[in-house]
Amino acid sequence: MNKRYKFSTIDDVNRLYNIPTLHPLISVIKLSDVKPIDIHHSELGIYTIACQINDDGSGSVHFFAPTNNITIDTREFYRMNGCSLNFHPSLLDDTLLVHRMPEYPFFKYAPHDVLHLSDFEMRIVVGCINGIGKELNNTTDNYTTRIIASGMAVLFSFCMRYYDREYSAHSDSSDIVKRLNMLLNNHLARPIHERCELPTVAWCAERMHLSANYFGDLVKRQSHRSAQDIIHQRIIAEARLLLDRGRYSISEISYHLGFKYPHHLTRVFKRILGITPNEYRAKVQIKKPL
């Protein structure tokens, strides 16, 4: 049976993996040094950046934040080339980084969202982490936290560069936006009685096998519009079509599109078009020939 652990402190991690604690708020762990303990589930109270290096030097970087729940299998770690940086949120309290953490969106992504790096990029990231590890082996003094925070700021900046690179790779065309529009079109092409669910960012992201935050960032960077705005525009276009047909009441249209209450449809409709569904229907009826 898989065990469940709660990593509230750095010492919780180090004791489980039989790693010495050099600093109460941060640690650098070499994967091959981790004590194998089979598969286990972990509830995190810390941040973790884990690097897994392939035989050719390329690799992947995983980002985990407090409140993440992850599954870890350490049985093959002794064969792996890689490392992890683990730090408690309170490490940043007296540093400039505490105000900059919202700038680093990769900590908000789901655990399965991974940053893929070339061998050159992986050497840089691992070098930053190893540099922090070397500082942890020095005698602690008044400069320790400042030096560690500076090293982390450099590491985060490189990670942001590579994330931007990955977004650019995705944005050779508006592929993600095309996929979103296709998903919405397929949903709305279903019979009305079969689509009583309002598409949301999370709903669309799940069907594209992406986390909501990662999906939203991709759409924003490629289209300069929010995913929610694109979804609402498409839904309201469908609402206009149903209003033009004149077969359904506002309540029925609201239900068929997946809005929980008619006033939700009205609010979104007015935000997009500047008028309410009833006002739109009145204008359409005026224009119809007698």
Q: What pLDDT score was predicted for residue 111?
A: 62
Q: According to the model, what pLDDT value does residue 286 have?
A: 65
Mean pLDDT of 253-273: 91
Residue 172 has pLDDT above 60, yes or no: no
Q: pLDDT, tens digit, for every residue of 80-113? A: 789 999 999 999 888 888 888 877 888 877 666 6
Mean pLDDT of the chain: 85
pLDDT at 130 over 90: yes
Average pLDDT over residues 199-204: 91
pLDDT of residue 212: 85
Give the pLDDT of residue 78: 60
Q: Please, which contacts does 111-116 make with residues 24 or more away whose CB atoms are closer than 8 Å? A: 111/62, 111/64, 111/68, 111/70, 112/211, 113/63, 113/210, 113/211, 113/214, 114/60, 114/61, 114/62, 115/60, 115/61, 115/62, 115/63, 115/159, 115/162, 115/163, 115/166, 116/58, 116/59, 116/60, 116/166
Q: Write down all domains in the chain, each with its CATH number in brackets.
A: 3-170 (2.60.120), 175-287 (1.10.10.60)
Highest mean pLDDT among 27-36, 221-230, 243-252, 262-271: 262-271
Of 41-45, 158-162, 231-235, the one with minimum mean pLDDT is 41-45
Query: What is the predicted pLDDT for the residue at 277?
Result: 92
Out of 120-129, 162-171, 195-204, give the one with best mean pLDDT: 120-129
Which of the given ranges, 18-22, 169-173, 210-214, has the highest pLDDT on average? 18-22
CA distance 9 to 7: 6
Q: What is the pLDDT of residue 48?
A: 92
So what's the pLDDT on residue 171?
47
- In this prediction the pTM is 0.65
Where is pLDDT greater, at 139 or 197? 139
Residues 244-255: pLDDT tens digits? Answer: 888 889 999 998
What average pLDDT does range 125-142 have in this prediction? Answer: 94
Section 146-154 average pLDDT: 94
